[in-house]
């Protein structure tokens, strides 16, 4: 198949998993992408992985950009052509904020969210991760969607239990009015019973707690550093009871 920068033949076993991971991450660093390929036993040699990703960039399927000082690792995102190549593998919808998705805040959010996902995989807890891309497609294309487009719907394995929850990764605060609207949506959700907000620092955690205090849903707020260090030992604030407790006691 011909592309702007020449011709490329995609390997379903090697290239497609890379493109799908970039699709569902939106923005992902070279190091993060390689770790996913190692975890999934797709590509175990870094030199081979680097060659393959470079080939996808040259073929016009991936964009490689510098994101210093955020990260020294190159950051990848999918091109329009790359998205078209995935039509047979995953629903691909245009983002409603396509003109803004390359802003540093969006890049930072995607990389941070991916760090949370990788930390669960490293800890051996991650059973399933439904990305915002998949969630939005389900919400727009089916009648069995969710109340909102969550950052992810995560299922973790705790002892012998599989526990699903909606994850929101909040790097910067929204307005109180926005959180009131989100609160109403969550209180109407009938497909999920647990909601976890992860934030980078305590002040933001306190603000979100104030916005959700007394909610009728099981909503918890924790810190990103604690999540990454040890999910099962993470302390969270319970927006319903106002208590601080271990995440494993409330999931």
Partner residues linked to 168 by β-bridges? 197
Mean pLDDT score of the chain: 92
The DSSP letter of residue 64 is: E
pLDDT of residue 48 exceeding 50: yes
Task: Identify the CATH assignment for 1-92 out of 1.10.1040.10, 1.20.1070.10, 3.65.10.10, 1.10.10.10.
Answer: 1.10.10.10
Residues of the chain with CATH 1.10.10.10: 1-92
Residue range 116-169, pLDDT digits in tens: 999 999 999 999 999 999 999 999 998 889 999 999 999 999 998 999 999 999
* pLDDT for residue 2: 40
The C-alpha R_g of the chain, in whole angstroms, comes to: 19
Band (4; pLDDT cuts 50, 70, 90): very low
* pLDDT for residue 97: 43
Rounded Cα distance between 164 and 171, Å, is 22
pLDDT of residue 50 exceeding 90: yes
Angle of the 15-25 helix axis to the 46-58 helix axis, nearest 10: 70
Residue range 171-218, pLDDT digits in tens: 999 999 999 999 999 999 999 999 999 999 999 999 999 999 999 999
Tokens 């995102």, residue located: 77
Instruction: Tell me what the mean pLDDT of segment 7-36 comes to.
Output: 95
CA-CA distances (angstroms) from residue 206 to 74, 151, 194, 244?
A: 34, 20, 19, 12
Tokens 């929850």, residue located: 165
Instruction: Tell me what the mean pLDDT of segment 51-58 comes to.
Output: 97
- Helix and strand tally (H, E) in the chain? 10, 12
């Amino acid at each position: 198949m011909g592309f702007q920068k020449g011709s490329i033949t995609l390997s379903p076993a090697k290239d497609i998993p890379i493109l799908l991971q970039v699709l569902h991450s939106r923005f992902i660093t070279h190091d993060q992408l390689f770790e996913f390929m190692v975890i999934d036993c797709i590509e175990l040699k870094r030199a081979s992985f680097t060659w393959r990703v470079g080939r996808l960039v040259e073929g016009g399927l991936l964009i490689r950009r510098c994101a210093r000082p955020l990260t020294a690792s190159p950051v990848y995102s999918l091109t329009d052509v790359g998205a078209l190549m995935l039509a047979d593998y995953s629903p691909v919808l245009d983002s409603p904020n396509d003109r803004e998705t390359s802003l540093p805040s969006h890049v930072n959010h995607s990389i941070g969210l991916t760090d949370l996902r990788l930390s669960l995989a490293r800890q051996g807890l991650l059973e399933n991760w439904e990305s915002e891309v998949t969630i939005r497609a389900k919400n727009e294309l089916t009648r069995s969607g969710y109340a909102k487009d969550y950052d992810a719907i995560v299922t973790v394995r705790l002892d012998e239990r599989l526990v699903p929850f909606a994850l929101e990764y909040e790097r910067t605060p929204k307005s109180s009015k926005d959180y009131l609207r989100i609160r109403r949506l969550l209180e109407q959700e009938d497909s999920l019973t647990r909601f976890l907000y992860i934030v980078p620092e305590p002040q933001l955690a306190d603000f979100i707690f104030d916005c959700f205090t007394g909610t009728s849903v099981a909503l918890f707020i924790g810190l990103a550093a604690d999540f990454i260090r040890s999910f099962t030992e993470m302390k969270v604030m319970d927006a319903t009871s106002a208590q601080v407790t271990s995440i494993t006691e409330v999931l």
